[in-house]
Amino acid sequence: MIPPARQLVPTRGRTAPPTCPAVGGRRPALRRTFSEFQDDSLTDWAAALTYYGVLSIFPGVLVLISILGLLGESATQGVTDTVNQAVPEDSIRKIITDAIGAADNGGLASVAAIIGLVAAFWSASGYVGAFMRASNTIYDVPEGRPIWKTLPIRLGVTAVIGVLLLASAVIVVFTGRLAESVGDVIGVGSTAVAVWDIAKWPVLLVLVSLMFAILYWASPNARHGGFRWVSPGGVLAVVIWLLISGLFAFYVSNFGSYDKTYGTLAGVIIFLVWLWLSNIAILLGAEFDAELERGRAIAAGHGVDDEPYVELRDDRKLRKKRNQRGSVD
């Protein structure tokens, strides 16, 4: 039986005292996180998120490229130089630079920007919707929120994360010649630009952690404390993401045979695999936050095997289904 939204299920299984070191603390939660990895099918959920991510990335790139077309040739050249420096893979670099070079037509760019913005926003909201379903699986809770509640959450989270992604893109792009040009326009010396080239990476990590925190807080149908600007799971996700990205880049550069296997599609395949690994890292962070909540519930006397171990945010959808089944019976 599904518990009410504001009431935990009564303890039925094994319990642990509040001081039990086997359930409390971050180290036991971390162990449970990796043990739950397979049970919650996180690799499959990461594949689903990768699909929605790809659907939203290309319209988003269209928006950015169209905006470049409106800004003029100098901005386009600056971004092209940055891409040539930052993207090591020749095939991906050529796709991006060719698309940037095609953005010189301002009239077409404005129309493409509008179309791309709408497509990117709706596709990205699909990613958030999939993440909400994955979060419910991670927290072992059903989705009890009606669509008139989940849809605004989905669109709102998409909008906020979209703004943060745009800020992150600006941080990455504003380097090299482009940063120097902007520095000259606003009257900032070359020293400030050099400092920014170093300081932008910690700022970027903070923005990424904030995006994770928003996803982790808003997605599940579970009451798990108030919003935290940086959650333990967000920190873990960033660390794992950096580690996975570094190891994958090292593997591709030294041992991978993607070029021989996939030919001209190697760059696309590499990007998809990296995106899938990145989503695994994000889901592991959410799992870690969930296991911390489980540890706190068990320490408070909740049954070790009882699920759900958190209060539901909303159970209206579930009560409606129960009432419909009751009327049929």
pLDDT digits (tens, 9 = 90+) for 22-43: 455 677 888 888 888 888 889 9
pLDDT band at residue 79 under the 50/70/90 scheme:
low
Distance of CA 13 to CAs 6, 18, 116, 139, 229, Å? 20, 16, 52, 18, 34
Comparing 145 with 11, the larger pLDDT belongs to: 145
pLDDT, position 285 = 92
In a domain, 18, yes or no: no
Token pair in block for residue 48: 């689903």
Percent of the chain topping pLDDT 90: 16
Total domains in the chain come to: 1
123-175 pLDDT, tens per residue? Answer: 888 999 999 999 999 998 888 888 888 899 999 999 998 888 878 877 776 66
Residue 189: inside a domain: yes
- Residue 14 inside a domain? The answer is no
Q: Which SS3 state, helix, strand or coil, does residue 14 take? A: coil
pTM above 0.85, yes or no: no
Q: Which of the given ranges, 8-17, 76-85, 244-253, has the highest pLDDT on average?
A: 244-253
CA atoms within 13 A on the CB side of 114: 5
Provide mean pLDDT across the span 301-324: 74
Task: Answer whether residue 293 is part of any domain.
Answer: yes
Residue 224, CB-side half-sphere exposure with 13 Å CA sphere: 34
What's the CA angle centered on 247, arms 234 and 212, to 5 degrees?
Answer: 15
* Domain contains 166: yes
User: What is the structure's pLDDT at 2?
Assistant: 43
72 pLDDT higher than 80: no
For residue 306, CA distances in Å to 1, 11, 18, 164, 302 come to 12, 7, 16, 37, 7
Establish if 27 belongs to a structural domain.
Answer: no
Residue 215 to residue 166: CA distance in whole angstroms? 16
Asked if the structure places residue 11 within a domain, the reply is no
The parent domain of residue 78 ranges over 36-316
User: Is residue 72 domain-resident?
Assistant: yes
